[in-house]
Amino acid sequence: MKKVLITGALGQIGSELTSKLRNEYGINNVIATDIRYIENSEVAKDGIFETLDVMDIDSMALIAKKYNVDTIIHLASLLSAVGEQNPQFAWKLNMGGLTNVLEVCKELNCKLFTPSSIAAFGASSPKDLTPQDTIQRPSTMYGVTKVAGELLCDYYFNKYGVDTRGVRFPGLISYVTPPGGGTTDYAVDIYYEALKNKKYDSFIAKGTKMDMMYMPDALAAIVDLIEADGSKLIHRNAFNITAMNFDPEEISAEIKKHIPDFEFGYNVDPVRQAIAESWPNSLDASCAVNEWGFKFEYDLAKMTKDMLEKLKSKGIGINN
């Protein structure tokens, strides 16, 4: 990866990935794009930024050519909960964006990284230590687009030799940019509310376990997989990865170690609860470990300490 174009660069992953890649690969080698333009955001002002709607293949190809990119990291997509509010649009955006990116990669001979998700599994997948290769019959539109996307990326690799790679991300926890409407968002919201109001009611029910990962580990995984030796990859789209799995009780107990008067309760949202119940309790990430050396640094305790420190240093909880 020498010159990279990122779609959805103002989103939860993109905003942090853009700064990391600018630092590591050079400011002129990262082309951040998003459908939005946020004038005072670091992504828009600290380096190259272009407005791009991923549904517009001509503009995408023009930007990729203009900067002579060799890699595209395609992040623009609707998440699970918002996807259920408008499933037709979720299909259109998630699949339309991906087919455009795949065509541009094919034409310009670019490498592609695009994430899949734990949402690519469904109620009929094995729940615990869900294997890399297993039943994938998701019940959300987001999950349907993720499975279709995995297959399409493999198709472009096998048929056209496009170097496509991806991971199945678990819920991602971060303090820079909030997630955009996912089922795992409770595990981000809880930290903000613990600091602001010392109180949080989880929209996910007691005992519901899901895989999670702290953003620094997610970003490292993206770079490690893109840079991995392709000849060692048996799988491509997409690798199970995870760093921890917990239920709401466990994350609240960890927060209480730092904020003893934190009050935790439940106000379960049936839509997001049903989605969570259809997903695995824990993933088996051994193929990612064996094929490209996937690793992580943060467990629940280490992440909680860091999240609370970082949010406090952003002023969260001070004057609310």
Cα–Cα distance, 242 to 7 (Å, whole number): 23
Shortest distance, position 242 Cβ to ligand SER, whole Å: 12
Report helix, strand or coil for 248. Answer: helix
Candidates 7, 15, 71, 80; binder of ligand SER (CB under 6 A) is: 80
Per DSSP, the chain holds a count of helices (H) and strands (E) of 12, 14
Which range in 24-32, 61-69, 113-121, 258-266 contacts ligand SER by CB under 6 A?
113-121
Terminal-to-terminal C-alpha distance of the chain: 42
Candidates 54, 69, 72, 79; binder of ligand SER (CB under 6 A) is: 79
Residues contacting ligand SER: total by CB under 6 A = 11
Identify which of residues 79 and 226 has a Cβ nearer to ligand SER in the complex. 79
For residues 157 and 163, is the Cβ–Cβ distance under 8 A? yes
Identify which of residues 102 and 218 has a Cβ nearer to ligand SER in the complex. 218
Candidates 110, 119, 188, 215; binder of ligand SER (CB under 6 A) is: 119
- Cβ-closest position to ligand SER: 182
Could you say which residues in the range 154-213 bind ligand SER, by CB under 6 A? 169, 171, 182-184
Cβ density class 259-298: b for 16+ within 10 Å, e for less: eeebebeeebbeebbebbbbbbbbbbbebbeebbebebeb
How large is the C-alpha radius of gyration of the chain? 19
Identify which of residues 171 and 280 has a Cβ nearer to ligand SER in the complex. 171
Identify which of residues 80 and 125 has a Cβ nearer to ligand SER in the complex. 80
Which residues, in sequence order, are CB contacts of 267 under 8 Å at separation 6+? Answer: 201, 202, 203
**Residue 142 annotated among the catalytic residues of the structure:** yes
Identify which of residues 118 and 194 has a Cβ nearer to ligand SER in the complex. 118
Residue type, 75: L
For residues 153 and 119, is the Cβ–Cβ distance under 8 A? no
Identify which of residues 29 and 80 has a Cβ nearer to ligand SER in the complex. 80
Sign of CA dihedral 115, 220, 252, 301: positive
Shortest distance, position 142 Cβ to ligand SER, whole Å: 6
Shortest distance, position 295 Cβ to ligand SER, whole Å: 21
Shortest distance, position 179 Cβ to ligand SER, whole Å: 6
Shortest distance, position 262 Cβ to ligand SER, whole Å: 23
Could you say which residues in the range 133-152 bind ligand SER, by CB under 6 A? 142
Cα–Cα distance, 73 to 69 (Å, whole number): 11
Q: Which two tokens stand for residue 41?
A: 């955001």
Cis peptide before 238 (omega within 30 of 0): yes
By the rule CB under 6 A, 317 interacts with ligand SER: no
Shortest distance, position 169 Cβ to ligand SER, whole Å: 6
Name the active-site residue from 142, 156, 175, 298. 142
Candidates 15, 117, 240, 245; binder of ligand SER (CB under 6 A) is: 117
Cα–Cα distance, 305 to 287 (Å, whole number): 29
Binding site for ligand SER (CB under 6 A): 79-80, 117-119, 142, 169, 171, 182-184
Residues known to be catalytic? 142
